[in-house]
Amino acid sequence: MKEFDLKNYGLIGKFLGHSMSKYIHGDLWGYDYKLQNLNESELDYFLKEKNFKGLNVTIPYKEKVIKYLDKLNDLAEDIGAVNTIKNNNGKLEGYNTDYYGFDYMLKEANISYDDKKVLILGSGGASKMVQKYCKDKDAKEIIVISRTGENNYENLDKFKDFDAIVNASPVGMYPKNLESKIDIDLFTKLDSVVDLIYNPLKTKLLLDAESKNIKIASGLDMLVSQAFYSAEIFFDKKLDQAIIEKTCKLLEREIMNITFVGMPGSGKTRMASLLAKDLGKKLIDIDREIEKKEKLNIEDIFKYKGEKYFRKIESQVLLDFSKEKGQIISTGGGSILSEINRHAIRQNSFVMFLNRPVEKLSRRKRPLSKDLESLKNMYEKRISYYKEVSDIEIDVEESISKTYEKIKRELIKHEIISD
C-alpha cells in the first residue's frame, strides 16, 4: 500500500495473482498501474486514505466500495456494483464499465438479447450487471440460476427453450479448467453462449457450444474493453476504440498456445521445436513429459503398463500443460481420441493438424505404428478427430524447411504470430 501515491492507478481485490490488468494498463497502455491485494480491514484504510488517482475494483469488493464513494453514477447505482473509481481532487466517484465491456463483447460476437430468453448463471456482481443489461436491451425473459435459489442447477430443464446462456459464475475458471455445470444438449433453441471468464480463452461451456455451432463469446474482449472505458474515465477523454481490438490481438498472441496434432511420425515434434526456437517460446512435448513423469520411455509404458494406462497419464499431462499460456505444444498422435483431451487442446490453443500421407509416416520407436496396414486403419479412425480439433490443416511437404515455411505463412495469415 505504501507504494501508491496520488499519481497512481491500480486494481484492488482479494486474489489478484492471475490478473492481467497491470499488463494491459501498465505495460501495454503505459501508465503507472499497480495491483493491490487487500483484506477487508485494509480496504477501509485504503479508501479513506485516498492515496491514488484512479482504481479498478474486482472480487470481492465491487459492492463493498460503494459506501466510501462521494458520488455514484446512475448506471453503477442501478447495477449496485462499481468497478472503476476516480479520485477527483479528494472526492471519490464510482462507475461501472463492465456494462460497456459486456456490450462490446456481445457486439463483436454479433449477439443480441432483444426479445430473447436469457439464462444467467451465478448471482454475484457480474450477474447483476448482466441482468441490468438484458433488461435495457429488451430481453423477453431473464432467469438467474443460483446454487441456492428457486431456479438452480437441479431444475434447468424448466428453461430448455431458452435462447441464450451467460456464465457469470467462476465455474470453469483457471485452475479448475474444463468444469461446467451445464449440459448444452438439454437446450433445444440455443442461439448464443457467453462466458465472462477469460482464462482459459474458451471454457468447457464455450467449447461445448462451439461444437454445436452455437455463437460464442469469451471474456477477453470484455476484460480489455472494460479497461479501455475505465481509462477514458481516468483521463477524462475519449480514446481511440481501435485500441481495444489491437490490445485483444496482442493479448491473444501472448496467451495462446500453438498446438500440433497429427499421426505419429507426421513431424509434430520437429515443427514444434523449430517454431518454439524461432518465437522464443517454451516447447512442450507431451510424450517427453509423460516419460519424465513415469520415468519410463513411451515404448516401455506401452509394453509394461498397457495402452489404457498410457492414455490415462497422457490425459493428465495434457490437461496440466494445455491450461498454461504461450507455449508450443506437440501432442501424441492418439491424444485426440477422447473428448476431454480435445477440449483440453482447444481451450487455449490455435491448433494445427499436420497431415502426411500414411506411407510417408515415420514408424521408428512408435509402439502402435507396427506396419502400413495398421497405420492406415489408425489414420481412418482418427482423421475426423484431427479435423474436428484443429483450426487449420497443413499438408506436410517432403522437405522440412518447406513444411515449416508453410506453417509460418499460415500462422501469419491467421494473425497468430506477427510478420
170 binds ligand NAP (CB under 6 A): yes
Q: Which of 6, 59, 239, 412 binds ligand NAP (CB under 6 A)?
A: 59
Using alpha carbons, list the distances in angstroms from residue 275 to 192, 345, 418: 35, 18, 13
The neighbour count for residue 198, using CB atoms within 10 Å, is 22
Helical ranges in 178-326 per DSSP H = 204-211, 220-235, 242-255, 268-279, 286-294, 298-322
CA nearest neighbour of 223 among 16, 13, 14, 20: 20
The backbone region for 50, taken as left when phi is positive above 0, alpha when psi lies in -120 to 50, beta otherwise, is left
Q: Which is nearer to ligand NAP, 167 or 355 (CB)?
A: 167
146 binds ligand NAP (CB under 6 A): yes
Choices 116-124, 280-288, 323-331, 362-370 (CB under 6 A): range interacting with ligand NAP: 116-124
Phi, psi of 347 (to 5 degrees): -60, -35
Pairwise CA distance, residues 17 & 377, whole Å: 47
Choices 192-200, 264-272, 323-331, 375-383 (CB under 6 A): range interacting with ligand NAP: 192-200
Q: Which is nearer to ligand NAP, 174 or 302 (CB)?
A: 174
Q: Which is nearer to ligand NAP, 150 or 359 (CB)?
A: 150
Is the distance from CB of 242 to CB of 223 less than 8 angstroms?
Answer: no
Q: Which is nearer to ligand NAP, 147 or 189 (CB)?
A: 147
Grid cell listed for 98: 463492465
Pairwise CA distance, residues 160 & 231, whole Å: 40
Q: Could you tell me the smallest distance in angstroms from the CB atom of residue 68 to ligand NAP? A: 18
Max CA pair span of the chain = 78
196 binds ligand NAP (CB under 6 A): yes
Choices 193-201, 204-212, 279-287, 299-307 (CB under 6 A): range interacting with ligand NAP: 193-201
Q: Which is nearer to ligand NAP, 84 or 390 (CB)?
A: 84
Radius of gyration of the chain (CA): 24
198 binds ligand NAP (CB under 6 A): yes
Angle 380-386-387 from CA coordinates, rounded to 5°:
100
Number of residues that bind ligand NAP (CB under 6 A): 24
Q: Which of 147, 370, 387, 409 binds ligand NAP (CB under 6 A)?
A: 147
Q: Could you tell me the smallest distance in angstroms from the CB atom of residue 112 to ligand NAP? A: 19
267 binds ligand NAP (CB under 6 A): no
Q: Which is nearer to ligand NAP, 164 or 378 (CB)?
A: 164
Pairwise CA distance, residues 220 & 215, whole Å: 16
**Residue positions annotated with a catalytic role:** 62
94 binds ligand NAP (CB under 6 A): no
Q: Which of 65, 120, 223, 298 binds ligand NAP (CB under 6 A)?
A: 223
125 binds ligand NAP (CB under 6 A): yes
54 binds ligand NAP (CB under 6 A): no
Place of cell 486514505: 49
The site for ligand NAP (CB under 6 A) is made up of 59, 98, 101, 122-127, 146-148, 168-171, 173, 196-198, 219, 222-223, 226
